[in-house]
């Protein structure tokens, strides 16, 4: 959201498919999410390198950036089905429907991206079903809290 609010990469600010995904799913969003997630993966490795034995840290050194980039891509891809469904129901980009469907789509807006991420992490790290379920709902709760925080500082 920082890249959007500060208008970074403005040349990439064009919808991927306005009719299918809406106007809010842009090329800039895809590039920024993957790029910043790659950077986040590198920063994670740097933090963990100080906590882990050097053999473990060196084994993962080149992989953390790619793991971050894959997580960023999965986050974006997880949003696409929800956007397509919302367009089919005639719901505008960035909006929620009125009535009870608001709560359903509201939850899906938080949860959609974390399902593929949770599945990827479960496969990569060998998580059990319970760890995966707990992590999924933890990711969703964290996103909700983060969104509240971003609104508080004017970035969402």
130-151 residue pLDDT tens: 888 888 888 888 877 777 765 5
Q: Which residue has the higher pLDDT, 29 or 62?
A: 29
- The size of the chain, in residues, is 156
40-60 residue pLDDT tens: 988 887 777 666 655 655 666
Q: Which residue has the higher pLDDT, 58 or 91?
A: 91
β-strand partners of 15: 26
Percent of the chain at pLDDT > 70 equals 85
Mean pLDDT lowest among 5-9, 67-71, 122-126: 5-9
Q: Of 37, 46, 47, which is closest to residue 67 (Cα–Cα)?
A: 37
Residues 6+ apart with CB under 8 A from 21: 15, 80, 83, 84, 87
pLDDT band of residue 1 (cuts 50, 70, 90) is: low
Mean pLDDT of the chain: 82
pLDDT band of residue 97 (cuts 50, 70, 90) is: confident
Query: For the residues 27-43, what does the mean pLDDT come to?
Result: 91
């Amino acid at each position: 959201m920082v890249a959007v609010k500060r208008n970074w990469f403005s040349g990439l600010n064009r919808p991927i498919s306005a009719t299918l995904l809406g106007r809010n799913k842009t090329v800039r969003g895809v590039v920024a999410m993957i790029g910043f997630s790659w950077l986040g993966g590198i920063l994670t490795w740097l933090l963990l390198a100080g906590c882990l034995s050097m053999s473990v840290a060196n084994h993962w050194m080149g992989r953390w950036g790619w793991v971050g980039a894959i997580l960023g891509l999965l986050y974006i891809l997880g949003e696409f089905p929800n956007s397509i469904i919302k367009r089919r129901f005639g719901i505008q980009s960035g909006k929620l429907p009125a009535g009870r469907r608001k709560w359903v789509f509201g939850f899906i807006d938080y949860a959609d991206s974390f399902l593929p991420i949770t599945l990827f992490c479960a496969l990569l790290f060998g998580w059990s079903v319970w760890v995966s379920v707990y992590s999924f709902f933890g990711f969703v709760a964290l996103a909700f809290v983060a969104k509240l925080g971003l609104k508080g500082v004017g970035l969402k």
